[in-house]
Structure 1
């Protein structure tokens, strides 16, 4: 399957990385910059890939068009859920468990935490198969959790209106990750200063070296999130699709602690694949709510970042039903970001056709942030071990153009 050489990731409006991240400001690459591996994209997948490669003693160049955790990226913003349960899917459950440990270790070294162990509450109609499989996996793997019926939910969380017949479970040690600051911290902990460049397609030189964005490297990892299909449109167009996603933060009344930790955990309302999720008030950001439904297809560089009145109205209607104490709460701020979806929600981790040492990493599909450490570790293994087989679910061949989500 061929690709055409073209520029793709616009640097228009790019800003230098604020502050003294990793001891310096973002720099521009030049033709003298060399590395063992060039990682293109300083989102959560790229940052953790660079971190793991550095741990292996490799020289890494991290290329970023804007800045780590920037407002246009899928890794920016305030918070992301980290949970271990994925039904009984051993692939993502295992990756999430390993990633939770890595995030916790990094968080423990910081003055401000990256991981808030609020717990994650999952509730569904009683008898929901996905929830039952999740609890079975948690029990089989010794993951701490609590579970109960409607009466248990109502007694434990009186600020939430539960429907008759619902049940739920709480992952005790899981919770919320701080997103933008988290990515910046990974980059700084790796001792890297991102190079501010406009990414391009890899050029293979006569000696086998690869050149990308002015950097010469033996291997290249493209971890560009929603920019992957812009950079490789012939290959990934329709296979990785960026969609508009809105999030809303509402402000509880002064002195009302019902919607902040420890009274309220991160939560997810699941009903046959229809998910509404949210966060208690973290770091002064208010109560966060979002609908885990794919929005319209968008361009991450140019999409309108103002939330819609229809979206705000839908969030208020949900609050009136589930969180009546917030029904009249003011919208204190909001955000428009994007998912970069594969056809079914599985990640993409595979070689670029025609290049043995160029890797495509993406398809976070709205649930990828938590998995950054595990994804980075796997990509680093691929870079150093060419014989390591690609996970079939992560392969390019498995990526289709018909959206049929199976990973939640």
Structure 2
């Protein structure tokens, strides 16, 4: 947990999932925290915005992410228990593939090492348990029953609301770093014209990090365009409800598609995990494309025959915010000792928010040994995602 002198003032710029959970852990450790966001918590431009995110612990041989996800789960459960409306929907998560490859074998091995439950399934078992999916060509599956879907925007806004009710300060507007020389940041200039000064600073700005620190991160964080689509289920059909259908990911010969059951009558959600084109989070066109929709419909009709001809009822265009290799960035600024940089969610980070916040809060005060995979020094300038 975060150490340092209790009551130190920490300014956190960015009220997405990473920033809000960092604020939560710092507040619980007795620090005064100001949380700042240009458009508000989990706004629609942010990588933390939108309806839903999968949470799962299967990560191949990447035990660090399995641990982070499994240790985040009870914190999501606790937040969901007090939110009024559910945040965690434990519909389970199913991964399936034509082959039992290294990713699936690694996931089983790590779960065994950490004494975590995971169920191996063959095609017949999956077809019986989840008849709304056509498993033709599929031979192997892994199911995590305790995981499922997180209601993304609701979870962050609930966390920030509780942070404010517990005495935290939340400011709306942009914040730019002020550096007058030396090894420490002097403050942040708020959109109102005010200068806010704190003892320490966290910048958890997702795809905006390269804009704030172009010399350090300008070529090491990549924002890519991602499109998701929602389809109406047949009237009266309960097959696509979270009580019957899991969150899922089809490894599809390495070209992953994933989706969700019909959460809160929003529609069944489908997305392609392939990284899209590089975009600017401030200016990129948020209108869905026909090409992406056609691709999703072709996949949907093959794997979910009961949704053939289902009407499109919604679409979102968001972004992944990637590090070069898919690992998180949680590290001290190379020349400003009182600044922590937090980002690199890389399309898989949301579920880890509670543990990223815990780790970031502790790293800010030097209470934890650095995890090399989260360091700035391991981030390159060429995209080559290695974490899935």
Output the TM-score relative to the length of structure 2: 0.93
Superposed, 1:369-380 pairs within 5 Å as 369-380=350-361
- Aligned equivalent of 1:88, options 52, 61, 65: 61
Contact 2:14/2:204 (CA < 8 Å) preserved in 1?
A: yes
- Aligned equivalent of 2:170, options 179, 188, 194: 194
Matching of residue 391 in structure 1 with residue 371 in structure 2: yes
Equivalent residue number for residue 280 of structure 2: 299
Evaluate the alpha carbon distance shift between residue 209 and residue 306 of structure 1 in structure 2; reply closer, same or farther with a 3 A threshold. Answer: closer
Distance 2:131 2:185 in 1: 61
Displacement, 1:273? 3.5
Equivalent residue number for residue 24 of structure 1: none
Deviates more, 1:127-136 or 1:206-215: 206-215
Displacement, 1:193? 4.3
Equivalent residue number for residue 404 of structure 1: 384
Matching of residue 72 in structure 1 with residue 45 in structure 2: yes
Equivalent residue number for residue 267 of structure 1: 248
Contact 2:183/2:337 (CA < 8 Å) preserved in 1?
A: no
Contact 1:35/1:61 (CA < 8 Å) preserved in 2?
A: no
Aligned residues: CA RMSD: 1.7
Deviation string, structure 1 residues 72-114 (Cα, Å, up to 9, x no partner): 0000010000001111211111001111111111111121011
SS at structure 2 position matched to 1:381 = helix
Superposed, 1:5-404 pairs within 5 Å as 36-191=9-164, 192-203=168-179, 210-213=186-189, 214-384=195-365, 386=366, 388-404=368-384
Displacement, 1:165? 4.7
SS at structure 2 position matched to 1:401 = coil
Distance 1:212 1:126 in 2: 52
Evaluate the alpha carbon distance shift between residue 155 and residue 185 of structure 1 in structure 2; reply closer, same or farther with a 3 A threshold. Answer: same
SS at structure 2 position matched to 1:190 = helix
Displacement, 1:58? 0.3
Displacement, 1:204? 5.1
Contact 1:307/1:335 (CA < 8 Å) preserved in 2?
A: yes
Distance 2:223 2:137 in 1: 37
Evaluate the alpha carbon distance shift between residue 254 and residue 218 of structure 1 in structure 2; reply closer, same or farther with a 3 A threshold. Answer: same
Displacement, 1:310? 0.6
Deviates more, 1:47-56 or 1:208-217: 208-217
SS at structure 1 position matched to 2:225 = strand
Displacement, 1:169? 1.6
Contact 2:121/2:143 (CA < 8 Å) preserved in 1?
A: no
Equivalent residue number for residue 3 of structure 2: none
Mark the runs of 5 or more structure 1 residues left unpaired by the alignment.
1-33
SS at structure 2 position matched to 1:187 = helix
Contact 2:33/2:169 (CA < 8 Å) preserved in 1?
A: no
Mark the runs of 5 or more structure 2 residues left unpaired by the alignment.
1-6, 190-194
Distance 2:102 2:184 in 1: 51
Distance 2:45 2:316 in 1: 10
